[in-house]
Structure 1
Amino acid sequence: MQRPPHPKAPGLAAGITEPMIHELVHRFYGDVRRDPLLGPVFNARVTDWDEHLEKLCAFWSSVVLMTGNYKGRPMPVHIGIREISPEHFERWLKLFRTAARSVCPANAASLFIDRAEKIASSLYLGIALHRGEGPAVTPPDFGEPGART
């Protein structure tokens, strides 16, 4: 069941809608599937792309519209992908930024990109700690060069 946005959701002020999320997710993951670095990682693991895209739409709806539609646990899934490296995160973010800017108005794209960068840092830290790289590990700066923080 699809829940409505929370009245204080940051995405509302940025003009984000469920159809916009759908368009962004489908555009972005179409690019990911064709990407020479990311495509093999995703295509080896995702067996039902329709189901996966629906889950990712729910994830982004929960992130920017605070709907609570997503009920997954992304950290254990990402920890299980041994080949993930900072280069994978950087490429993921580059493709995401491009897709967000092509699909969304500027305010919405900025919000999506900000959240994606924070999610990338969090996942990177979780993976590094799980791999025993220690509590002092610092994530790469996944923020866009030259962007305001």
Structure 2
Amino acid sequence: MSDPTLCTEEEIARLVHAFYARVRQDEALGPIFNAHVDDWPHHLAKLVDFWSALLRGTGRFDGAPMPKHAALPDLRPALFQRWLELFRETAAEQENQAMAQQACEMAGRIAQRLWAGYQVSRGQQPEALA
């Protein structure tokens, strides 16, 4: 549930920027993200909008993440699990732990949906992440 009083835009931006700095340096995720994101400042701004819409209900995000993720080759559950692990680590370091907890719950659902959508896009029966 979004709540405009849960956090500030600055808190969301700190979370998103810290998280994706970690992702870009990660041994497993970094090569994937760095190969597919051409303009990191633009991508980070979109991600801040995405999380602002989810956490604060701003409605600023106007994208479709599923097709972009479905188009990536050779994704596997361990990559989604690593993404979640890094997200949770980054969230745990944030001052606003109410925001961090809500964001982690949402991130878990997002990872599950993206993984299920990815499997379906390849004609597979969706299996949940462990």
Query: Is 2:47 aligned against 1:61?
Result: no
Q: What corresponds to 1:109 in structure 2?
A: 100
Q: What corresponds to 2:12 in structure 1?
A: 21
Cα deviation for residue 106 of structure 1 reads 2.2
Unaligned runs of 5+ in 2: none
Q: Share of identical aligned residues, percent?
A: 39
Which of the residues 111, 114, 120 maps onto 1:120? 111
Q: What corresponds to 1:138 in structure 2?
A: 127
- Structure 2 counterpart of 1:91, one-letter code: R
- Structure 2 counterpart of 1:138, one-letter code: E
1:119 & 1:9 partners in 2: Cα distance? 15
Which of the residues 22, 43, 46 maps onto 1:52? 43
1:32 & 1:107 partners in 2: Cα distance? 23
Kindly indicate whether the alpha-carbon contact (under 8 Å) linking 2:19 and 2:87 is maintained by their aligned counterparts in 1: yes
Unaligned runs of 5+ in 1: 1-7, 142-149
Q: What's the secondary structure of 1:69's corresponding residue?
A: coil
2:18 & 2:57 partners in 1: Cα distance? 22
The structure with the largest alpha-carbon Rg is 1
Point out 4+ residue stretches in structure 1 off by more than 2 angstroms. Answer: 8-12
Considering fraction of residues, name the structure with more helix: 2
Q: What corresponds to 1:146 in structure 2?
A: none
Cα deviation for residue 103 of structure 1 reads 1.7
